[in-house]
Amino acid sequence: MIEKLSKEQIEGILDALPVELLFIDEHEKIRYWNKGEKRSRKATADDIGKDIRSCHKPESLPMLEAFINNLKSGKKDEQEFWVSYSDRLLNRFIAVRNGEGKYLGLIQYLLDYKALEKLAEEKKGAYKIFP
């Protein structure tokens, strides 16, 4: 079905998602990220093609290596950890495989839970059907 969408539509869909989304290929190179208005880390055109390790702090590299190895080997399909900057972010890694199970890379996404909690609090009761 994706062939029925234009490149512009696909980019628009991915940019509209309320997450920071990256695609890292099977060689651990950054190949894509969505725009993400409030990125925790500003991405530049120079980041495309860089090794994903260059985006992580040295102390997190052993965990990142384990995540990549688990995803590549098929031991796991998802890995996650919490990141604390000024916000509370869930940093999640999901294996991307083709129909035969071949590893194609991974999606890394960061989800801002603080923003979700704020939104939930603001909207509390706004959609009640019954009084």
pLDDT in tens, 17-74: 888 889 999 999 999 988 865 555 666 778 899 999 988 889 989 989 999 999 999 9
3-state SS of the chain is CHHHCCHHHHHHHHHHCCCEEEEEECCCEEEEECCCCCCCCCCCHHHCCCEHHHHCCHHHHHHHHHHHHHHHHCCCCEEEEEEECCCEEEEEEEEEECCCCCEEEEEEEEEEHHHHHHHHHHHCCCCCCCC
User: Is 106 part of any domain?
Assistant: yes
pLDDT for res 43: 66
User: Is 57 part of any domain?
Assistant: yes
pLDDT for res 66: 94
Residue with more model confidence, 72 or 120: 72
* CATH number of the domain encompassing residue 97: 3.30.450.20
User: Is 130 part of any domain?
Assistant: no
The domain tally of the chain equals: 1
User: Is 6 part of any domain?
Assistant: yes
Mean pLDDT of 76-96: 81
Mean pLDDT of 70-95: 84
The residue segments making up the domain with residue 82 are 2-123
In the chain, % of residues over pLDDT 90: 47
pLDDT for res 87: 62
User: Is 90 part of any domain?
Assistant: yes
